Structure 1
Amino acid sequence: MTGIKGVILVGRTGFPRAYQNIFLLVLLLSGALLVAKVFLSPNQLAPEPTKTSAPQTGIPRTQATTEQASVRVSTDDGLKLSLGTDGSIVKLNDGSRSLPMLPVSGGFSMRMVGEEPNLLPNPSLETDADSNNIPDGWQFSGVAARPRSVVGTAHSGTRSVKITTRATANSGMFSTTVTVKPYRNYTAAAWFRSENVLPTSAWLGNPPVRVRDASPAQIKVEQLTRSGKVIDTHVAFGYTNTSGWNRQAVGIKALGKTRKLRVSGQIYKGSGTVWFDDLYVGQLISDTVRPLTSATTSGSDGKVHQHADLADEHLAFDATYTPAKDYIRLDATVSDTAKEDVSATDKAFQITYSLPVNAVGWQWDDHPRKSRVITPGVPFKLNSIQVPEPSRYPFATVHDDSSAVTVAMPLNVPRFAKLQYDSRRGLSITFDLGVSKAAKKLKGKATFTILLFKSDPSWGMRAAIKKYYDIHPQSFVRRTDPRREGFWFVRPSLEVLDNPKTPEDESTAYGLGLNMVSLGTDSTISHKVWGIDYLAWANKRNVYTSAYNHHSGFFAPRCQAEQRRCELLTYQEAIGKLRQDSVATPASLERTRLRDESQATLISASRDMNGRLRYTNYQNKFGAFNKYYQNPDPDLSDGMDWSAAAQKHQMEYAIQLARKSG
């Protein structure tokens, strides 16, 4: 079986459907963003000047907190953490040195997501006290295709706003303005109903937020400065063609100069009829930081346990501090305590853990070769350029000449986390989490793990990295044959590789460690096979070969490459074709794959908040396709779900072709 000894199957996967409801709240349908900041109202701020983009602070430390009895957890190398009986952090010692502390309690705190009040006036559009046929708190504009308040068609109550355009155009608008806070995250949402709305949208479920004309049915949200200047625009899109009531949303991250949001409904570059009802604009994350005040006890095994009941949220919190030789491990769980008949809603929240070390004047390491002096009122972060700003390292370190303290997350318990230092909160790590009864495998629990350790301050982040490696040696084991290490090439020239400019081995000379080929399994776009001749060449030279697979989505063919014109399908037409293909009698291997992947899509494709399958229009030289995004969970069904289809038509088929190549 030398023909397959170096074959690796690689691909991209989708996102489990069970988590979608949670991350719909946390990530804001549009991709607008959670940040690692903790936002508080002005009366909660410590009396310190700030240059931060938004208020950030911890829970004030009271005299009772400072003087209360404490429990301790410590390492063999001298890191000692003292906790109050309510879970607050009383003291942190590095050997005999008591580290300077901020006047905040530290420890665990929580902010709820998605439960903030509606800022819009008359959001149901029901009230019209002056009987002018314009909902109170709203304005109508435009002459042609002007909005109308109508009775009898409504998502709730009896009234909605209706807009009709008979020809493709921009309609009039209905709008209102609300005051907001800068640097906060908001959600804007509305219920839409459409009738003969054209043109048909190419985006079902989650259009890119910057595609202005993804659908003519729109709720537009504009960010306004104090003077009324528009500085950013966001859009929530309703379904095109004809559809019943559907809720759509968009996320907004208010900019530093934003003072108001103008919310408008209209038909944009389209025709047809759209009804709007039950609009919403609210802050995504609460400004209120809730300390997880908990009963804290010390066990005979040296561990410290915390427990808190959050009865009003139907949640419970548990954490265990476990001392090790040279680090402290914190394992925490948030559990959904609601019964099915009490609350079946998903819950999203942020959990922050803070070490309230006063490190002003210490060093913050952006990376191993760059440090900065910590100054008051400025957040020091390790955010990546991705959204919503996850930290690019799983640890953060602060140090002076005598001590270095690190907060970290282990690689074998990966979570979406943000690390930072702020002079009003300390060194912290924040997790974006949620619980959902739909995520049955998680059994209503959200878990995470934190590590605390000290290291040699003279080497800053370098020493912290070394310590992190030592704590997790299994995460950094070399698992490849050193002879096979090198760069990833796609169809490199064999002629060039066989005639290197150096007398050394070809793969060594060019650093070739992984070569990618196509074995007809990448997707339904094109099942072309190329690169089989690389297999023998790569095996002879101890080079790994990967067969490209595409696990994230199914490309359902809409028309063939030779067709000059291919109209977009309505949602009903697209699903009808999918169902038709799923039961067709196949006459070839290609048609068998189309049948199986169509069946799998009906089972495994991700859905939007209204239950529709999510897909996008995809068109290239091979034809036009609807790309359905998949959930690769192998336990969705016992039949032909996406996991089974990918295994059969991508992985097994690739290995079969590799075997035939010899």
Structure 2
Amino acid sequence: MKRLIVLNLVFLLLFTVPVAASKDSGFVVSTNDGLELTLDENGFIESLRVDDNEFVAEVSPIFWVRDFTPDYEIENLVFDSSFEFDDNGDGIADGWEEIAISGNKNISLDTENVHSGNFSLKMFSYAASKKPNEMGYISSAIPIEGGEEYCLSLFAMNDFGFLGPWVLSMSVYCIFYDSKGNEISREEIKIDHTLNSWKQFSKIFVSPSNAVKSRVAIIFIGPKINAIPGANKSTAWFDDVSLYKMPEKTKMNAAEGKMRKDGDKLIYEGSLNELNFTARYQSNHDYIQIDGEIKGNGEEKAIDVYFLLPINAHQWKWWDDMRNWRQIDDGLYEMVVNADESSYLPLSPYPVSAITNDEIGLSIAVPLSKPRIFRIFYDADMNKFGISFSFGLSPLTNFNVVNFT
């Protein structure tokens, strides 16, 4: 029988009966039914075991932070990123090309609905009787460096609101190529509802180590006849595309601190980018609970805090929800929706997710009694199962403290 172990972030790792101890080999918290988490004196994860199954291949930090507060300048690598230039008058922005992937394409430069400048990219489709019309706009080649962190971003708007991808969809890809011009992989941004309002969609990722160039592809899939009442035609607009290398000051940094034992709890005290940080680990009946608290330093802060378990789960199952799963191969696995009407803030709609194989499973969960902006994911490129929390800190608040459970 398959066993599912829940990490609930209070973080919840799922199991029974409390045991917390300090051993020569590290600080250990475990449950009666076989889950054991071991940390070293610096709070790095040494071991995560279920019975005789060890998941951790090497010692690594478990808590990380990304600080989005600093102002920084970017170098946009996309030529004519706002679709402003058409020197030969062919109706196609310079540095871009149109493609018809399936059926008919209807692509133009629009002057009525723009986010900035004088033009935006417009894609239109009538409902198709069989296979939907699918079209794209692809940039010229963009030189990049392998193994570096990049951000892909653009503004999008549509006139059809939120409809399932089986009806119509909008996506943007960053496609990576090696020195011989072969496609290596691609990163995708799925664009959710933006009914008649411009929204920015962004994604940060690491380029493949052997990548030397990339291209940005904007894809639009139109509706099918009678799929949804009223969706007999649809229009999407895109503007201000950017691809840029992330500045050093915004990159993820590991927490720095020390572990100690306090009764039946393990206490981590340290800092996240000079912000005081405390984490408490304890067994709680049938799960391991982890509570974290970050104190402000008197400055405005916008941060993401990450809890990352180094697990190679290739060929396992990633569970979007209790019924739907995907086999883990490459890329990022998450189930998210947009938490912000005016911009893009990905949020997991469910308080629990899991990865499983044929014998056992691990789950990360959060308590419904402590709502937070969070995202549960498995990153197959990093081999990390984790959760991130998005926080804002301000000296104008009474306490200037944030926490997660």
Report the TM-score when normalising by structure 2.
Answer: 0.52
Residue 17 of structure 2: aligned partner: none
Residue 319 of structure 1: aligned partner: 279
Residues 633-648 of structure 1 mapped to structure 2, 5 A cutoff: none
In 2 relative to 1, CA 438–77 (structure 1 residues): closer, same or farther, beyond 3 Å? same
Residues 535-574 of structure 1 mapped to structure 2, 5 A cutoff: none
Shift of 1:448: 0.3
Residues 250-269 of structure 1 mapped to structure 2, 5 A cutoff: 253=202, 257=216
Looking at structure 2, the residues matched to 447 and 378 of structure 1 have their Cα atoms a distance apart, in angstroms, of: 29
Note if contact 1:185-1:251 (Cα within 8 Å) is conserved in structure 2.
Answer: yes
Shift of 1:362: 1.8
Residue in structure 2 matching 1:105, options 60, 75, 92: 60
Output one character per residue of 1:360-414: Cα deviation in whole Å (capped at 9) or x when no partner.
2222222323222222x32111213654221121111111222211111110111
Residue 251 of structure 2: aligned partner: 288
Residue 15 of structure 2: aligned partner: none
Residue 422 of structure 1: aligned partner: 379
Residues 399-410 of structure 1 mapped to structure 2, 5 A cutoff: 399-410=356-367
Note if contact 2:276-2:295 (Cα within 8 Å) is conserved in structure 1.
Answer: yes
In 2 relative to 1, CA 115–251 (structure 1 residues): closer, same or farther, beyond 3 Å? farther
Residue in structure 2 matching 1:332, options 292, 312, 316: 292
Note if contact 1:185-1:284 (Cα within 8 Å) is conserved in structure 2.
Answer: no
Output one character per residue of 1:28-57: Cα deviation in whole Å (capped at 9) or x when no partner.
xxxxxxxxxxxxxxxxxxxxxxxxxxxxxx
In 2 relative to 1, CA 282–297 (structure 1 residues): closer, same or farther, beyond 3 Å? same
Amino acid corresponding to residue 202 of structure 2 in structure 1: K
SS in 2 for 1:369: coil
Shift of 1:345: 3.3
Looking at structure 2, the residues matched to 81 and 114 of structure 1 have their Cα atoms a distance apart, in angstroms, of: 33
Number of equivalent positions: 250
Residues 38-437 of structure 1 mapped to structure 2, 5 A cutoff: 69-94=25-50, 96-103=51-58, 105-119=60-74, 183-184=151-152, 253=202, 257=216, 287-299=250-262, 301-310=263-272, 313-336=273-296, 338=297, 344-375=298-329, 377-384=330-337, 387-423=344-380, 424-437=382-395
Note if contact 2:49-2:55 (Cα within 8 Å) is conserved in structure 1.
Answer: no
Note if contact 1:363-1:374 (Cα within 8 Å) is conserved in structure 2.
Answer: yes
In 2 relative to 1, CA 179–435 (structure 1 residues): closer, same or farther, beyond 3 Å? farther
Q: What is the RMSD of the two structures over their aligned residues, measured on CA atoms?
A: 4.3
Looking at structure 2, the residues matched to 347 and 101 of structure 1 have their Cα atoms a distance apart, in angstroms, of: 32
Looking at structure 2, the residues matched to 399 and 381 of structure 1 have their Cα atoms a distance apart, in angstroms, of: 14
Looking at structure 1, the residues matched to 282 and 318 of structure 2 have their Cα atoms a distance apart, in angstroms, of: 27
Note if contact 1:390-1:417 (Cα within 8 Å) is conserved in structure 2.
Answer: yes
Note if contact 2:321-2:353 (Cα within 8 Å) is conserved in structure 1.
Answer: no
SS in 2 for 1:294: strand
Shift of 1:106: 4.5
Note if contact 2:45-2:62 (Cα within 8 Å) is conserved in structure 1.
Answer: yes
Structure with higher Rg: it is 1
SS in 2 for 1:367: coil
Amino acid corresponding to residue 352 of structure 1 in structure 2: Y
Report the TM-score when normalising by structure 1.
Answer: 0.33
Note if contact 1:182-1:257 (Cα within 8 Å) is conserved in structure 2.
Answer: no
Higher share of residues assigned strand: 2
In 2 relative to 1, CA 253–380 (structure 1 residues): closer, same or farther, beyond 3 Å? closer
- What residue ranges of structure 1 are gaps of 5+ in the alignment? 1-67, 122-140, 142-169, 187-207, 212-222, 227-249, 264-280, 339-343, 450-662
Shift of 1:182: 5.6
Output one character per residue of 1:118-152: Cα deviation in whole Å (capped at 9) or x when no partner.
2379xxxxxxxxxxxxxxxxxxx9xxxxxxxxxxx
Shift of 1:72: 0.4
Note if contact 2:151-2:245 (Cα within 8 Å) is conserved in structure 1.
Answer: no
In 2 relative to 1, CA 117–304 (structure 1 residues): closer, same or farther, beyond 3 Å? same
Note if contact 1:88-1:293 (Cα within 8 Å) is conserved in structure 2.
Answer: no
Note if contact 1:77-1:325 (Cα within 8 Å) is conserved in structure 2.
Answer: no
Looking at structure 1, the residues matched to 240 and 337 of structure 2 have their Cα atoms a distance apart, in angstroms, of: 30
Looking at structure 2, the residues matched to 182 and 286 of structure 1 have their Cα atoms a distance apart, in angstroms, of: 13
Amino acid corresponding to residue 305 of structure 1 in structure 2: I
Looking at structure 2, the residues matched to 104 and 389 of structure 1 have their Cα atoms a distance apart, in angstroms, of: 29
SS in 1 for 2:346: coil
SS in 2 for 1:434: strand
Note if contact 2:259-2:267 (Cα within 8 Å) is conserved in structure 1.
Answer: yes
Shift of 1:430: 0.5
Looking at structure 2, the residues matched to 78 and 254 of structure 1 have their Cα atoms a distance apart, in angstroms, of: 37
Aligned-residue sequence identity (percent) comes to 23
Note if contact 1:106-1:425 (Cα within 8 Å) is conserved in structure 2.
Answer: no
Shift of 1:298: 2.0
SS in 2 for 1:297: strand
Residue in structure 2 matching 1:438, options 382, 392, 396: 396
Looking at structure 2, the residues matched to 262 and 304 of structure 1 have their Cα atoms a distance apart, in angstroms, of: 48
Amino acid corresponding to residue 384 of structure 1 in structure 2: V
Shift of 1:114: 2.9
Amino acid corresponding to residue 324 of structure 2 in structure 1: K
Shift of 1:115: 1.2
Shift of 1:426: 1.9
419-428 vs 85-94, which deviates more? 419-428
Shift of 1:288: 1.6
Higher share of residues assigned helix: 1
Looking at structure 2, the residues matched to 323 and 356 of structure 1 have their Cα atoms a distance apart, in angstroms, of: 21
